[in-house]
Amino acid sequence: MEDNVKVRSYGQHIVQAPSDVSFCAGCNACEIVCALVHDGVVGPCYNRIFMEKGTQTMVSIINTCQQCSDHPCYEACARKDQALCLDEHGIAYINEEFCIGCKRCIKACVFDPPRINYIKSTDKTKRKAKKCDLCRNRPEGPACVQYCQVSCLSVSDK
């Protein structure tokens, strides 16, 4: 292996089962329950988890934060340890009260599309970053995993 190839590693994060095991129905239930758990609304969905519909293959891809073990978004945050924090299990999460919507975390995300969403608003105080925090304060675990009707989501560090 070339020395300059960086091997990434990840913490616990949401994974999608291969389509030969469980086929994503494209129902958006994961996005809806995520918004309900985090924001107390069923819409709009704030894309902490978001689906890309397969236009030709019918296979939909679920995207969400992979909890990179080096947390580039956390390192880049203008308000590190206030707006973007790491909990005792290494889960990077956003404390919206302190987020100033500067997007530095989004630019630092190593994935395309970035796994942090940004809420646009004419009201500056409502401009916030949103990302998966694995429902870290929810005893039942991630709501998207619990409510996926075809059980195609689970939590893994692989």
Cβ atoms of 148 and 28 closer than 8 Å:
no
Answer yes or no whether residue 33 interacts with ligand SF4 by CB under 6 A.
Answer: no
- Which residues, 115 to 154, sit near ligand SF4 by CB under 6 A? 115-116, 129, 131
Please confirm whether the linkage preceding 44 is cis (ω < 30° from 0).
yes
Q: CB nearer to ligand SF4: give 42 or 110.
A: 110
How far is 98 from 101, CA to CA, in rounded Å?
Answer: 9
Cβ atoms of 17 and 25 closer than 8 Å:
no
Answer yes or no whether residue 37 interacts with ligand SF4 by CB under 6 A.
Answer: no
Answer yes or no whether residue 91 interacts with ligand SF4 by CB under 6 A.
Answer: no
How far is 40 from 59, CA to CA, in rounded Å?
Answer: 29
Nearest distance in Å: CB 122, ligand SF4: 17
Answer yes or no whether residue 38 interacts with ligand SF4 by CB under 6 A.
Answer: no
Q: CB nearer to ligand SF4: give 20 or 88.
A: 88
Nearest distance in Å: CB 124, ligand SF4: 12
Name the amino acid, one letter, at 18.
P
State the alpha helices, DSSP H only, in 14-129: 29-39, 72-76, 104-108
Nearest distance in Å: CB 113, ligand SF4: 10
Answer yes or no whether residue 41 interacts with ligand SF4 by CB under 6 A.
Answer: no
Cβ atoms of 44 and 155 closer than 8 Å:
no
The rounded Cα 71 to chain-centroid distance in angstroms is 13
**What letter does residue 158 receive in the DSSP assignment?**
-
Write the binding mask 48 to 87 for ligand SF4: x where contact by CB under 6 A, - elsewhere.
-----------------xxxx--xxx---xxx---xx---
Give me the residues that bind ligand SF4 (CB under 6 A), please: 65-68, 71-73, 77-79, 83-84, 92, 94, 99-105, 109-111, 115-116, 129, 131
